[in-house]
Structure 1
Amino acid sequence: MDAPREVRVGLIGYGFSGATFQAPLIATTPGLRLTRVCSSQGERVLRDFPGVAVVAAPAELIESGEVDLVVVATANASHAPLARQALLAGKHVVVEKPFTITLDEGAELIALAEERQLVLSVFHNRRWDSDFLTLRQAIESGLLGPVNTYEAHFDRYRPDVRGRWREQDLPGSGLLYDLGAHLIDQALVLFGNPDCVNCDMGVQRGAAGGSASDDYFHLTMRYGARRVILHAASLVLQAGPRFTVHGETGSFIKHGMDPQEAALIRGERPGAPSWGVEAEAQHARIGFVKGGLTVSGKAASLPGRYQDYYKGLFDAIVNGKNPPVTAREALAVIKIIHLALQSHAQQRTVTFE
């Protein structure tokens, strides 16, 4: 049997996402080889990856004969034009979440990728968080019964507004496009498209001329009698549960965040001892009724597996499998964001059509 061919990867952007997530995960995925990085931080790139070529312009990377897959890890407003340029050059493409700013941009990219028979995927890595994997298994195994209330929080304490584009008054900036994309994607994985959406959002760090973009949102998605509540804020010093989920036969309550991002920042990589393993103190409390018995205790978290994203992507490119996150799934996230913005602007519940 022939050995799987190598997929050569070019990374556009070496900011937080590119340096913390994309490059390390690419470098530790069998079959992928990081060959080019487009960045103004050439010294930093070469310090981290000495054998990689650093280029100054995205076009130089995209047109390179040493690149099969282009990873776009730049500001949100540049996702669509860079992805389009890469697809037109015959490259497979990964886009950092959120996929695009507008629905039309996303639909155009999907049509282009399908026309050219190229893989187009979006990096919704938090499908592989340890807590979400554990919760998903608890739901799909039937331990909780049909879910009636699902509440997910992504709260942080960041009182100082930084100069990053994410916190400025720019297209695609703000907490809803940032952390909201993660929470929405997780909810859609579990429950599919909602009946309707209601959202309140705002700027809470603006009392002294702070944020220029939203730093708080509270989004409710309705599925018949089920309520899915997604919440994120930037002024939460003592965070409550990450997940609070109640079903007809059980409940799941989980504090704390997946450890993989912190491990990547420390320089650890998938394959290291205890990769993705949460501390026991962060394990979820779970209770359920089974066979007339009421059972309660801790549910040990399944290990987080961010590495599965790029393993699945390699399989999609080389073996024709479905990408780990399809572009159509990612476009559904953008649709929910648009409905949330509409709901907030009009102060009403908006139907999902």
Structure 2
Amino acid sequence: MDNEPSVPVGLIGFGLAGGVLHAPVIDAVDGLHVAAVATSRAESVRTRFPDARVVAEAGAVFGDPGVALVVIATPNQTHAPLARAGLEAGKHVVVDKPFALDAAEAEMLVELARERERMLSVFHNRRWDGDFLTVRRLLRSGALGRVRLAQFCWDRFRPAVKQGWREEAGPGSGVFADLGPHLIDQAACLFGWPEAVSADILTQRGEACTDDYFDVTLHYGTTRVLLSAGTLVAAARPRFALHGDRASFVKYGLDPQEGVLRAGGRPTDPGFGEEAPAAYGALTGGDGVARPVATDRGDWRRFYLGVRDAVRAGAAPPVDPRDAVRALRLMARARESAREGCVLPFT
């Protein structure tokens, strides 16, 4: 067990992001504990975290001297203002994705964190998905050779528009703001930042009032990385498909961690983050034989382990917020490409 004092965490928001994706992971990391929660779902918090202080407003968490780290898990348009308030209150801050609505807001937060000497990170938990870790391992091993085409898809089948801010018209809504940051972050981790970008961002469902489909192509010389998500895809495309001059790797299905957490599971449960062999991806070489590749174990706790070490010991944050700033610049460039219908350089 960890012998150092536990870092008290203040959680802003206790909906899907805060209550399902953040809180159980924080609670499963030695050296962190949920000390305060700002939410209207007081009973839900008290049932799961009876020792946590429950308040109605984020300001009460920012003003709590017993909170060292705040986690922003609220609607997208509130991320930057709340992160700024947390930093100004002297707190270390984790922000759910997207980091901010635009790169200018994000750059302001990075500079403020530097001035206040506080840790700032962005919850790009998908860096610790098992399928992504497997792809990274294969690339590093050279098993694929030089990759010329990579496709990252995240599909859903939702003919009916869901209630909630994610599908309402307004800043920060839409599938590109929701899933684009994860796919761009994964692509940048594997291939770096592209030379150019082209994009198609659409609203396909008749009653939708924000984008529900995107197809973004990142240009790296003669290599192309395609990032796509749709809401009218009943037979999902591969989550990852990478094709190199030695072999191809194709993997279907999403990392299981979110599904387990949504069902009430915990990161400390036996087998958490492990995938069944039936879900493994396949590596196909020049002989045409598809060979299964065991999926690495995913573990989102590794993000919060990095946060703990950054707060306690001044280690580098697990996700550099400057990466998220670059991703927001790339997203803005992709939207511009979609409007103009052309390939645009990215520097």
TM-score by length of 2: 0.97
Residue 246 of structure 1 aligns with which residue? 243
8 Å CA contact 1:143, 1:288 repeated in 2: no
Partner of 2:270: 273
* Aligned residue in 1 for 2:345: 351
> 2:227 & 2:299 partners in 1: Cα distance?
23
State the partner residue of 1:108: 108
Q: Distance in 1 between matches of 2:285 and 2:154?
A: 25
Runs of at least 4 residues of structure 1 off by over 3 A? 293-296
The answer for the alignment partner of 2:133 in structure 1 is 133
Alignment-derived partner of residue 304 in structure 1: 298
Distance 2:130 2:30 in 1: 22
Deviation at 1:3, TM superposition (A): 3.4
- SS state of the match for residue 107, structure 1? helix
Deviation larger for 30-39 or 159-168:
159-168
Q: Identify which of 213, 225, 248 aligns with 2:210.
A: 213
The match for 2:231 is: 234
The offset of 1:297, in angstroms, is 0.6
Q: How many residues align?
A: 346
Q: Distance in 1 between matches of 2:72 and 2:59?
A: 12
Equivalent AA in structure 2 for residue 240 of structure 1: R
Given that 1:194 and 1:352 are in contact with CA atoms closer than 8 Å, whether structure 2 keeps it comes out as yes
In structure 2, what is the equivalent of residue 333 of structure 1? 327
- Which residue does the alignment assign to 2:309? 315
In the aligned structure 1, how far is the partner of 2:58 from the partner of 2:35? 14
Letter in 1 for 2:154: F
User: Does 1:286 pair with 2:279?
Assistant: no
Give me the whole-angstrom Cα distance separating, in 2, the residues matched to 1:241 and 1:103: 30
1:44 aligns with 2:44: yes
* Distance in 2 between residues matched to 1:247 and 1:187, nearest whole Å: 16
Distance 2:247 2:337 in 1: 32
Contact 1:153 1:243 in 2 (8 A): yes
What is the alpha-carbon root mean square deviation over aligned residues? 1.3
Q: What residue is the counterpart of 1:256 in the other structure?
A: 253
Contact 1:285 1:298 in 2 (8 A): yes
Q: Percent identity?
A: 45
CA–CA distance in 2 between the matches of 1:78 and 1:330?
Answer: 16
The CA deviation at 1:5 is: 2.7
Q: Distance in 1 between matches of 2:276 and 2:50?
A: 34
Tell me the amino acid that sits aligned with residue 316 of structure 1. Answer: A
Q: TM-score normalised to the size of structure 1?
A: 0.96
Cα distance in 2, alignment partners of residues 56 and 231 from structure 1: 38
CA displacement 1:232-269 (0-9 Å, x = unmatched):
00011111211110011111000111100011112111
Shift of 1:294: 8.0
2:336 pairs with one of 309, 332, 342: 342
Aligned to 1:32: 32
- In structure 2, C-alpha distance between the alignment counterparts of 1:350 and 1:177, rounded to whole Å: 20
| 2:185 maps to 1:177 | no
Q: In the alignment, is the contact (CA less than 8 A) between 1:5 and 1:318 conserved in 2? A: no
Q: Which amino acid aligns with 1:11?
A: L
Gaps (5+ residues) in structure 2? none
What is the CA–CA distance in structure 2 between the aligned matches of 1:168 and 1:351, rounded to whole Å? Answer: 31
Q: Which residue of 2 aligns with 1:96?
A: 96
- Would the alpha carbon gap of residues 295 and 142 (structure 1) be closer, same or farther in structure 2, given more than 3 Å must change? farther
Partner of 2:18: 18
**Aligned-partner Cα distance in 1 for 2:3–2:237:** 49
The amino acid that maps onto 1:135 is V
Name the SS for the 2:143 alignment partner. coil
Q: Could you give the per-residue CA deviations for residues 62-91 of structure 1, whole angstroms, max 9, x where no partner exists? A: 110111001000011111110001101110
C-alpha separation between the residues in 1 aligned to 2:18 and 2:327? 22
DSSP 3-state at the match of 2:10: strand
Deviation at 1:158, TM superposition (A): 1.0
Q: How much has 1:190 moved relative to structure 2?
A: 0.4
Correspondence for 1:79: 79
